[in-house]
Amino acid sequence: PDNITAFGESSGGGNIGNWLVSEIAEQALYRRVIVQSSGSAAGELRTLAEEQALGRRLISYLGFGGEGPSAAQLRAIPAEDLVRATYEALPGHYFDVVRDGLTFAAQPLDNYDSAKIAEVDILIGTNAHEWYMYVDESAGWEEVEAWLQTNAPASATVLRSLVAGEADPRRALDRLRTAQRMLCPSHYVAGRVSAAGGRAWVYYFNRQRPGPGGRKLGVYHGTEIGYVFNQHESWQSVDEADLRLTQAVMDYWVQFARSGDPNVLGRPEWPRYRAGRPLVMELGDHLGAIEPPDADLCLWLGPRR
């Protein structure tokens, strides 16, 4: 019970990243965390009042007036009807942690900036093509331009130049969105944890699976999970290189859970992520330390830029 590691991927990793800077982080039972493919430091949380207003909008959409329905009336709504109504009444809404004054009084990013961070060791990282499979196959350079003007108009010129060498506009969009939503926030969190006295270890997973699936999806969001647990799905192509990488990833993850340091005898050294020398561990056809990928994009798309 005195050696607990909490870890999660995507939204699960985001929950951990938020917890590290919550008002109740000191109540945590764990000493180490693993955050896979998450951008918890990138977004802003709504207040309790804002979420309550959205709840009232949903209640009204469901046809309840006055003081609203009772709990029993809400429970009587078929699940499929409730889900459908939520999508229709709250289009695009993402259910996230709420800034309620108890778990969060400030935005998570503000607490990271002020080093109000739980004292932990962290292993954190992202995949090479986190957003590629979510970009429409018909996307062209006009979609890249639209994204730039919407998300980073002040730095559109320099960002455009950084992805101009991509032959595939989908890949250009993937790089921009991956950097903004996952890669740069992950490196930012690692740097802040390190500055606050914790130990940080950062990875960059870029093993593309063999076969048509790998060619179609690249190093997609979630692909690393099979390597962490040695649980490759039947539809995923696997060869000897994948099996070797699986064993290496498991060795690193388990050693980190044991000691807070992923380095294990017989494996390439994984350097700590430090502000003056922010090296990351490449996990792919090559195992070893590299300079942070797309660091130029992070100068313009990072959480604090």
- CA 108 and chain centroid, separation: 14
Measured torsion, CA atoms of residues 152, 153, 158, 164, in degrees rounded to the nearest 10: 80
pTM for the whole thing?
A: 0.92
- What is the token pair recorded at 123? 């292993």
Q: Where are the domains of the chain?
A: 125-301
pLDDT tens series, the chain, 305 aa: 789 999 999 999 999 999 999 998 888 888 999 999 998 777 789 999 999 999 999 999 999 987 889 999 999 999 999 999 999 999 999 999 999 999 999 999 999 988 889 889 999 999 999 999 999 999 999 999 999 999 999 999 999 999 999 999 999 999 999 999 999 999 999 999 999 999 999 999 999 999 999 999 999 999 999 999 999 988 889 999 999 999 999 999 999 999 999 999 999 999 999 988 899 999 999 999 999 999 999 999 998 75
Question: Hey, how many other C-beta atoms are within 10 angstroms of the C-beta on 180?
Answer: 23
pLDDT of residue 254: 98
Nearest Cα to Cα of residue 228 among 60, 29, 34: 34
Q: Which CATH architecture has domain 125-301?
A: 3-Layer(aba) Sandwich (3.40)
Phi and psi dihedrals of 302, rounded to 5? -70, 165
pLDDT of residue 295: 96
User: CB-based contacts of 17: which residues, under 8 Å, 6+ apart?
Assistant: 35, 38, 40, 41, 108, 189
Nearest Cα to Cα of residue 134 among 221, 24, 15: 221
pLDDT of residue 4: 94
pLDDT of residue 48: 96
Q: Which residues of 268-281 are buried (b: 16+ CB within 10 A; e: fewer)?
A: eebebbeeeebbbb
User: CB-based contacts of 233: which residues, under 8 Å, 6+ apart?
Assistant: 226
Is the CB of residue 186 less than 8 Å from the CB of residue 273? Answer: no
Question: Hey, how many other C-beta atoms are within 10 angstroms of the C-beta on 167?
Answer: 6
pLDDT of residue 168: 96
Per-residue DSSP letter, 106 = S
Collect contacts of 23-29 with beta carbons under 8 A, ≥24 apart: 23/102, 23/103, 23/104, 23/105, 24/102, 24/103, 25/117, 25/118, 26/118, 28/118, 28/120, 29/1, 29/4
